[in-house]
Structures are given as structure tokens and as C-alpha cells.
Structure 1
Amino acid sequence: MTIATTLLQQHLQWLVDEPQQWQELIAEDIVWDLPYAPSLGHPLRLEGRESVLRHASWFAGAVRDFHFFDAIVTATDDPLHAIARVRGEGTIAATGRTYRQEYVVFLTARDGRILHLREYFDPVQAALALDAPVVGVSSRSI
């Protein structure tokens, strides 16, 4: 096990269930890239601890009973990098709809903390659960 794989496992375990412990994992200058989030009207990138904490808090409030499962965390040749494929499920508070998602997460560590996350997810699954449009896609173009 490497520092990055340990941090990634703890990130998945504590993000929603133990937010105080999770906060101890992240660097002050953390960057969290969410390449598909803009299609839901969310930021492409979160920079800095406060921005990341606001987003994590929003998610925890927006998705009730969220949990990750079936995580496969993989080490790379560099002990400061790890990758995970993981499923998640919860209930969208505003709609009552079930939110099911599969994520791919890349993590970079520095000094025993999470420096960078890059998270891929299916924005269509999120839009359906949120009852929200996918930005840039109209029903006529499908």
C-alpha cells in the first residue's frame, strides 16, 4: 500500500460519512478537477481548501444516505499517485430520486495529504437524478 492508495481509500470512506476526518486529508492548496461537472452547471475546477470544503458540504446535503461501494483502488509506479474505480449511490434530497453513479478518480498526494483529485462521472445519470438539464444538450439534439 502506498500513501496515495491509503489517502484514496480514506477519501472514499470519509468524504460523506466522516467530514471532519476527511478535512484532515486535504492540502491547503488542493485542486479538484471535475471535467464533466460543467454540463450540470457546476464548476470545472475547485481550487483551494475553502472551495473544496464548500463543494463537499453541498454534495453531502444534496445527496442523502450516499455511500461508495465496490471500490477498486490501484497503485501506480509512483507512490504519490493512485486511481480508483468506485460506485456510489444515494438519494437526491430535492427530488427523492435514487442517484447511482460510477466514478473514476485520480489522486495525487504531497506531504501525506491530498493535493489533487480528478474525478470522472456520468453527468447524464446525475442530471436524471437531479431532474436537471444537461447544459448544452437540448432534447431536440438527442
Structure 2
Amino acid sequence: MTTDTSAADVFRHGLRLLLDKDITAWVELWHEGGVLEFPFAPDGWPRHLEGRAAVADYMRGYPDHIDLHDFPEVQIHQTTDARTIVVEMRGVGRLVESDRPFDMAYIAVVTVQDGLITRYRDYWNPLAVLQDPAADFTRGTR
């Protein structure tokens, strides 16, 4: 990534990498001290990850649990700070272990500086995962 890459460009590129299941390249989009937060995470699940290594560890087994097929809805909203965007999106695919459909809506607040993600607040719906025990992939692997 170049230092003049916009937050929206970095985010869109990251979505493509997730669809390609290239977790290593996705993690490389992160600043060394980047922070990933899950404000709505249920008890026993991570709420705050600090540093690229923690993000890499968290995402390591992602493709083994969720087979993402598409992000059919992505709306990126610019904030008054050019480095920060608010994203409304939906990811669809399947849960690998159960072969059940995966369909999750997200809102993310993402800050990018010098072409790298410095902060990512992921507001996903934990109730959707808690209602499907086969989707409980993060307790042991993340």
C-alpha cells in the first residue's frame, strides 16, 4: 500500500483479500500497533486486540471456519476525518464445519493512516452466532 491510499481503498482491498482467503496479505494491511475492537462481543470472546501479531493470531484460522463468498452490500461513508470511514456491509458464505449458510451484517469504523489500518471497530451481531452453535469458532481459535 502506498502512503496516499485512502481509507476506503484500503478497506475495499481488504475485502477482496478476505474473499481470496489471503489472510496473510489482509494482516499486512495493519499498522504494527493497530487495534481491532469488538464492542458487542459476548462474554468469553475477545473485545480488544492490540498489534498486528494479535490480529494475525485472531484471523489465522478464519478460512477454516467461514467460507466467504461475497460482500453483496457495502456502503462506505466518509467522516469529517479523511482517515476514518464508517462501513455498512453484509458478508455471505457458509460455515465450513456445518455447511450452513453464513449471512452477517456489520458496521465497522475504520481508521487508516499512511495506507495501514490503525483502528478497526467491528460492530457485528453476536446473537446470530450464539444462536448457531456451529458458528462458535472464535472461542478456541481466536
What is the TM-score normalised by the length of structure 1? 0.80
List runs of 5+ in structure 1 lacking aligned partners: 134-142
Which residue does 2:41 correspond to in 1?
Answer: 37
Question: Of residues 22, 28, 32 in structure 2, which corresponds to 1:24?
Answer: 28
What is the TM-score normalised by the length of structure 2? 0.80
Contact 1:8/1:73 (8 A) holds in 2:
no
The alignment's C-alpha RMSD in Å is 2.0
List runs of 5+ in structure 2 lacking aligned partners: 137-142
Question: Of residues 102, 107, 113 in structure 2, which corresponds to 1:104?
Answer: 107
Q: Structure 1 78/125 Cα, relative in aligned 2: closer, same or farther at 3 Å? A: same
Q: Structure 1 9/75 Cα, relative in aligned 2: closer, same or farther at 3 Å? A: same
Q: Structure 1 77/65 Cα, relative in aligned 2: closer, same or farther at 3 Å? A: closer
Q: Structure 1 108/132 Cα, relative in aligned 2: closer, same or farther at 3 Å? A: closer
User: How many Å separate the matches in 2 of 1:130 and 1:90?
Assistant: 17
Which is worse superposed, 11-20 or 28-37? Answer: 11-20
Deviation at 1:57, TM superposition (A): 2.0
The aligned length equals: 131
Contact 2:33/2:50 (8 A) holds in 1:
yes
Amino acid at match of 1:14: L
Which residue does 2:118 correspond to in 1?
Answer: 115
